[in-house]
Structure 1
Amino acid sequence: MRKTYVRDIVQHFHWKVISGQDGLMREVTVSDISRPGLEMAGYFNFYPSQRVQLLGRSELSFYYTLPKEERMKRMEALLGEDTPCICVAHGSEVPEELIQYSNEKQVPVLMTTLATTKLSSKLTTYLEGRLAPTTTIHGVLVDVYGVGVLIVGQSSIGKSETALELVKRGHRLVADDAVEIRRTQENQLVGSAPELIQHLLEIRGLGIINVMTLFGAGAVRTYKSVSLVISLEIWDPQKMYDRLGLDEEKMEILDAHVPQITIPVRPGRNLAVIVEVAAMNFRLKRMGYNAAVHFSKKLTDTIEEAVEDM
């Protein structure tokens, strides 16, 4: 999980900082947003102070009906020690009491002209992306026929060379060597490249090449959902490899299980073509047709018919 600070929110949305500038390095730990309507009425028993607090027209209009002393009490209680920041929507006027306690407790107050609902939606989406569980996997992520294929395997087995051949065949590179993967709220795994090595591909003997510069902007993409894992391993004559495709392997990434195919590597095998066919076959399975299951059923029916004729 990447750490997210109030400063990151300000820089991303370009919102105005009204007060509490000294608290811009406060950490945001949850993606949920709180609209403190009950708290404005004085009920703080279940106040989620660790959330970003959002003040819209409803909260502020009620707040201005309170006596001066009550306003001071509400704002003092609203700005807790673990409150990351206060966001004021609609470009509404910020109460003097809020500015006062904001500066005293170093809790930033941000203002935007966005409507409350839109502000809440945008901020929640942003925080869910920033606070999603993440991990880094050694491998190559490519977009093959719309399928996010993560190619893994031991070092120098040919992952980058396979990715280069796939790019030449019209597919798109997402990340090479280090793939940053985050799990979204919908349990999707989204992979991307670290900023330092974005669009770069390392080929032993050739060095580092920039795929976008060589092949154009259409040869790369920034991120892609991981749908299929292809594991490359040196061919082991003693090992029995799946020849029908009935056995389904899974790879666990961030508590999510992704279909995995193990491909043995030996001289003469065109890995790029095999990866292409694996991606196409994966799409076909998602559309409801499994060639291995169809063949197995036909074989079973044929054997049963032969037994009946005996």
Structure 2
Amino acid sequence: MRQTFTVLDLLNLDLKEHNDLGLRCIAGRQGLSREIRMPDLNRPGLALSGFFDNFGYERIQIFGRGEHAYLEKLDAQGNSDTIRHLFEQGVPCAIFTHDLYPTERLIAIATDTGTPVLQTSLATSDFNSRLIRALSNVFAKTLTTHGVLVEVFGIGIFIIGDSGVGKSEAALELVHRGHRLVADDAVEIRNVSGNVLIGSGANKALGHHMEIRGLGIINITHLFGVGAIRETKQIQLVVELENWDSEKVYDRIGAEEKTTEILGVKVPYLLVPVKPGRNIPIIIETAAMNERLKKMGYFSAKEFNQSVMKWLETENARKIYMQKRQMIESLQDRLRGDDSE
């Protein structure tokens, strides 16, 4: 169940570089505990003019240059009724872009109603795209599950399986071979934008540690360097490890694409049996490269199947041709025998 997300949480979001919102509170600090209930935004131009039909009171209100110019016009007219009506409806907060500063009348109303007023130096379009991206992540469906998430040749692979089957050992060998660890043991998965699964470590305090039976807890960052880790990665392939069952028939061709569903999103799925002599890390590497080929439109198993079918068709055609040729030769021999008589 999603925890409450407030305006103060929005201000405290730890976003870096091109995701940074650059927000600061300039009024209405007593309302920073107000809850933000949806990831949608609203430009209150029509509301400022007095039209409140179907107005999104639960949305964050964005004030750009157009809204700011209209606020100054209302201030010059001494008209603050629509502003007060807007803020009295309990909107989560108001955000001014372009480093625009609200009128003193609006500041007074915001303070009186306890409505947080925030400010950013970003342009409206840039800020809106960043904020929507951040809120989509906050409000995304979330699942915490057991497994190991690694990046192999650019493909995010979520390794699952029963405890003790060798998930962490396989991931450790992959890191040793130059790939990157995202999370071990507990993986938090978010459904972003409805069709993208983003995985990360469920416990940020533990960082990129791994538990290896017989060895204990190891710190991947200290052992292999920062190049061996990632904070987040899209899950593009699920690999399940299971102990080899001699009575079970495993797929040997792979012509059928199998998927598994996580948070309503279907992800390519592979079942890999584990037994002595099988090099699981190399199998996972090959699976990653094969998945990249599939995304480029090349499906090895299907191409193999088509080649076999063409060969069978060619072989059948050759047999039919040879049979007809033999019949013709036999008929010709018979005709020659009749002529000689």
Q: TM-score, normalised by structure 1?
A: 0.93
For structure 1, which segment, 93-102 or 155-164, has the greater mean C-alpha deviation from structure 2 after superposition?
93-102
1:132-175 Cα shifts (integer Å, max 9, x gaps): 22211210010111111110011111100000011111111011
Describe the superposition over 1:49-106 as per-residue Cα deviations: whole angstroms up to 9, x where unpaired.
1111011221122233237897332122211444110112233332233223322322
Alpha-carbon separation, structure 1, partners of 2:193 and 2:251: 34
Kindly report which structure 2 residues correspond to 1:93-132, keeping only aligned pairs within 5 A, or say none: 93-132=101-140
Equivalent residues of 2:47, 2:86 under 8 A apart: yes
Does 2:201 match 1:201?
no
Select the residue among 267, 281, 287 that pairs with 2:290: 281
Paired position in structure 2 for 1:11: 12
Rounded Cα–Cα distance in structure 2 between residues aligned with 1:79 and 1:267:
68
Residue by residue, what CA displacement relative to the aligned partner does 1:3-30 show, whole Å, maximum 9, x if unpaired?
Answer: 4221122234453322211111212122
Unaligned runs of 5+ in 1: none
Q: What is the aligned counterpart of 2:42 among 34, 37, 44?
A: 34
Separation of aligned partners in 2, 1:4 and 1:97: 29
8 Å CA contact 2:75, 2:105 repeated in 1: no
Which whole-Å CA distance do the structure 1 matches of 2:150 and 2:3 have between them? 24
The equivalent position to 1:227 in structure 2, one of 236, 246, 257, is 236
TM-score (norm 2): 0.85
Q: What is aligned with 2:330?
A: none
Amino acid at match of 1:122: R
Say if 2:159 is the partner of 1:151: yes
Moved more, 85-94 or 197-206: 85-94
Q: Measure the CA separation in 2 of the matches of 1:152 and 1:234.
A: 12
CA deviation map 1:179-232 (0-9, x unaligned): 111122262211111312321111112111100100111111111111100011
Q: Which residue of 2 aligns with 1:260?
A: 269
Secondary structure, counterpart of 1:65 in structure 2: helix
Instruction: Using the TM superposition, name which of 173-182 and 98-107 deviates more.
Output: 98-107
Contact conserved, 2:90 with 2:115, CA < 8 A, in 1?
no
- Of the structure 1 ranges 282-291 and 229-238, higher mean CA displacement relative to structure 2 is found in 282-291
Q: Which moved more, 1:9-18 or 1:23-32?
A: 9-18
Equivalent AA in structure 2 for residue 210 of structure 1: N
Do the aligned partners of 2:183 and 2:208 also contact (CA within 8 Å) in 1? yes
The offset of 1:266, in angstroms, is 1.3
Q: Return the letter of the residue paired with 1:48.
A: G
Deviates more, 1:264-273 or 1:120-129: 120-129
Secondary structure of 1:279 counterpart: helix
* Paired positions, count: 310
Q: Is 2:86 the counterpart of 1:78?
A: yes
Matched-pair contact (CA < 8 Å) for 2:99–2:121: yes
Aligned pair in 2 of structure 1 residues 265, 67: CA closer, same or farther (>3 Å)?
closer
Check conservation: 1:201, 1:208, Cα contact below 8 A.
yes
Alignment RMSD (CA, Å): 1.9
Q: What's the CA shift for 1:119?
A: 2.4
Supply the distance in 2 between the matched residues of 1:127 and 1:90 (Cα, whole angstroms).
20
Cα separation, 1, equivalents of 2:129 and 2:88:
24
* CA–CA distance in structure 2, aligned partners of residues 233 and 108 of structure 1: 53
Task: Assess if the C-alpha contact under 8 Å between 1:200 and 1:209 holds in 2.
Answer: yes
TM-fit CA distance, 1:116: 2.3
Contact 1:33/1:51 (<8 A) preserved: yes
Q: Give the number of the structure whose alpha-carbon radius of gyration is greater.
A: 2
* Structure 1 residue identity aligned to 2:138: R
User: Could you tell me how far apart the structure 2 residues matched to 1:116 and 1:306 are?
Assistant: 67
Distance in 2 (alpha carbons) for counterparts of 1:144 and 1:114:
36
The amino acid that maps onto 1:171 is: H
Instruction: Please tell me whether residue 211 in structure 1 is matched to residue 212 in structure 2.
Output: no
- Match of 2:222, SS state, is helix
1:135 aligns with 2:143: yes
Higher mean Cα deviation, 113-122 or 135-144? Answer: 113-122
Pair 1:26–1:278, CA change in 2 (3 A)? same
The answer as to whether partners of 2:188 and 2:199 remain within 8 angstroms in 1 is yes
Q: 1:246 to 1:3 in 2, by over 3 A?
A: farther
Per mean C-alpha deviation after superposition, the further-off stretch among 122-131 and 276-285 is 122-131
TM-aligned CA distance change 1:31 to 1:74, over 3 Å:
same
Change (3 A) 1:67 1:207: closer
- Segment of structure 1 superposing worse, 180-189 or 46-55: 180-189
Structure 2 segments unaligned to the other structure (5+ residues): 14-20, 321-341
2:299 aligns with 290
Change (3 A) 1:61 1:54: same
Among 130, 154, 174, the residue aligned to 1:166: 174
